[in-house]
Structure 1
């Protein structure tokens, strides 16, 4: 049984994958924010 794209799947594998992707995106954005803050400090 696959996940439908119409609404978020709440099964454990899907939720874990979405969480992992969100965490990666959060880390990337945090790193970018640190970089931008560094540029503003100069």
Structure 2
């Protein structure tokens, strides 16, 4: 999950990518669209 967030994040003023590619344990690669790119959380 951290690798996904790291690869997707872009510093301001760059826009976030609309999609990312992910792979499973077997090497199958898929593109995931990030339709709702709102981050919510607390530290």
- TM-score, length basis structure 1: 0.23
Query: Higher helix fraction: Structure 1 or Structure 2?
Result: 1
Query: Higher strand fraction: Structure 1 or Structure 2?
Result: 2
Higher relative contact order (CA 8 A, sep 6+): 2
Determine which structure has more spread, i.e. the larger CA radius of gyration: 1
